[in-house]
Structure 1
Amino acid sequence: MDNNVHAEHQNYVPPELSPKKKKGLAGVIAVIIGLLVKFKAGLLLVLPKLKFVFVLLKLGKFGTTAFSMLITIVIYARIFGWMYAVGFVALLFAHEMGHYIMAKWVGLPVSGPIFIPFVGALIQLKEPPVNAKMDAQVGYAGPFAGSLAAGLLFLFYLATGSKLVLALSYTGFFLNLFNLIPVHPLDGGRVTTAISPYLWLIGIPILIYFTITSFNPILVLIIILGGIQIYKHWKGTDKEFYEVSPETRNIFAVLYFGLLAGLGSGVWYTLQILETYRRF
């Protein structure tokens, strides 16, 4: 779920926000698909030649993080310019560090963030969460940290008037909102584990809609994984995992729907401002 920009000044609005593109969430996803298809062949040719990557893996988890960030920034900068590339990767980093810090806090061993161009970023839990509460804690921390980063960018836009910063803020709001769709393995699917797994039945149709309007193989994979998770829950193979106290359930419900509302407002408001710039 990545976006990039090919411009090097602060008054640039990235192509995915152009009036020639589809509006709203489906339009952003369509841009992601185009980038994935366009550069897939080139990546397949280049990656086998990067044998020295394995040497850098010896630098440790954050050596790998730094290298994957650098590669991602370089690739994105070739398309959309350095300023947007650095800002976008920083947004991804904030999101993943939210997961990382919370995983450490609850006692789960975890890898450093790894960045994958045109896909996103991820951390790897070396041990699974022991219950739904822990799963929700780690899942929620990523969008929460990412939302704070997007909000700080919006404040910076208010202070500077930079359209590029505004576009980055919009992107940050959107990405974290998308990640809160209640489907495993998205963060929203993990958070709603502690609220009600039945919310997954809402997330699947949402992703099916996006897949129909803007086909993306990654969305298809998420739908499949989400369907498997629903089936496993229906079979009741791990009932103890989903047992949470009513208090915990209520707390996560307030946190989850509150963040949804905040991010939805952020997406709507920043998009309205960008539309205003386009009209003048």
Structure 2
Amino acid sequence: MNSLYPPKPFLEKEPIRQGHIAVTVFSILLFALSFLLFFDDQFIFLIEMIAVLVIHEGGHYLFMKLYKYENVRMLFVPLMGAFVHGHKDSYRQRQSLVVVMAGPFPGIIIGIALWLLGMNYQVHWMIETALLLFAVNILNLLPVLPLDGGRMLSILFFEKIELFQVVFSFISSLVLIGIGYFMDWYVIMIFGFLMGFQVRSLHRRYLIHKGLKEDEVNFNSTYDNLSDRSYYFVKNHVLEHTPGLRRFVENMEGEDTKTVVANEVKNMLVPPMEQDITFLMKTVILIAWILAVFGPVYLMWSQNLFNKIYAV
């Protein structure tokens, strides 16, 4: 049956590179310089922020290396944050979940420890670092892609969560923009706008996957294992929902054009994942997620309430 469809373009595999520490260090320096350019009197806060990001992304990095991910790198983005990149041809559900949780969960635990110590001994830098750990990691646990919370729910429930991701991302972007505007937290406001752009991308992905299901096309595959028939259908749906790419294809010819389209097709695929998490484990993980999000909030609220009672 594949003979009825033209062969898919060949894509060269990304060469395996060892994560170079110099690249990470350079990105940290660039992050620090760009921060000090706007906030030159916030050096202590900068050190605390870098430490918080290293703790968070370091968890992802360590477990990606442990589980043999390829091309694992940690990079800092000026005025934005940091991320860890790595990939595999196939995944196990349990390992993927550990990689995701290894970022926010240790950060929350360390934050709680620093908060309790800081409040007990009145150490300002401990309290401030704890607040940063709470803010960064709780924000990352929001059930929105590409945040850790969204990735966690996607790993647990796959395509069932796609429409929810679109709706929740839209609502979350509006809420963050509103909070940032009324409280003069411009970083939160900017993040809300960026999340708004992500909504469009998530909606396009949802529509493409929905169309592929209706055509009974399996998109849970790597590009190498994708049949010519499946490539044909995925490409058509991608072009249908990406007007800019469609115009580019109509006006340009050659192998480079085919490669661009093939990479877009590859980005729409969902790598196969071995299901090895039971219903009980899913329940425990969801409870842990709820505790990680609301536990620090309750801790800060109860501690402040206790201080007020003590002062009275």
TM-score (norm 1): 0.65
Alignment partner of 1:260 is 2:290: yes
Summarize the alignment of residues 4-83 of structure 1 with structure 2, pairs less than 5 Å apart.
61-77=20-36, 79=39, 81-83=42-44
2:291 aligned partner, one-letter code: A
SS, match of residue 171 in structure 1 = helix
RMSD, aligned α-carbons:
3.3
Number of positions where the alignment pairs a residue of Structure 1 with one of Structure 2: 220
Could you tell me whether the CA contact under 8 Å between 2:108 and 2:296 is conserved in 1?
no
Gaps in structure 2 of 5+ consecutive residues = 1-17, 178-188, 222-271
**Could you say which residue in structure 2 is the equivalent of 1:7?**
none
Greater C-alpha radius of gyration: 2
Following the alignment from structure 2 to structure 1, what is the Cα–Cα distance between the partners of residues 306 and 169? Answer: 29
SS, match of residue 73 in structure 2 = coil
Summarize the alignment of residues 130-149 of structure 1 with structure 2, pairs less than 5 Å apart.
130-149=91-110
Q: CA deviation at 1:121?
A: 0.3
**Could you say which residue in structure 2 is the equivalent of 1:226?**
202
After superposition, give the CA deviation of every residue in 1:174-214 in whole Å (9 maximum; x if it has no partner): 22122122233221222123321334444433332232240
Q: CA deviation at 1:266?
A: 0.4
In structure 2, which of residues 262, 265, 275 is the aligned counterpart of residue 244 of structure 1?
A: 275
Following the alignment from structure 1 to structure 2, what is the Cα–Cα distance between the partners of residues 133 and 61? Answer: 27
**Could you say which residue in structure 1 is the equivalent of 2:249?**
none
SS, match of residue 102 in structure 2 = helix
**Could you say which residue in structure 1 is the equivalent of 2:80?**
119
After superposition, give the CA deviation of every residue in 1:210-245 in whole Å (9 maximum; x if it has no partner): 322405332123323433454455434345735524
Q: In structure 2, do the counterparts of structure 1 residues 76 and 124 end up closer, same or farther at CA, with 3 Å as the change threshold?
A: same
Identity %: 19
Following the alignment from structure 1 to structure 2, what is the Cα–Cα distance between the partners of residues 206 and 130? Answer: 26
Q: In structure 2, do the counterparts of structure 1 residues 165 and 262 end up closer, same or farther at CA, with 3 Å as the change threshold?
A: same
**Could you say which residue in structure 2 is the equivalent of 1:11?**
none
SS, match of residue 101 in structure 1 = helix
Following the alignment from structure 1 to structure 2, what is the Cα–Cα distance between the partners of residues 159 and 222? Answer: 41
Q: CA deviation at 1:118?
A: 2.2
Summarize the alignment of residues 127-206 of structure 1 with structure 2, pairs less than 5 Å apart.
127=88, 129-197=90-158, 198-206=160-168
Following the alignment from structure 1 to structure 2, what is the Cα–Cα distance between the partners of residues 99 and 268? Answer: 26
2:59 aligned partner, one-letter code: G
Gaps in structure 1 of 5+ consecutive residues = 1-58
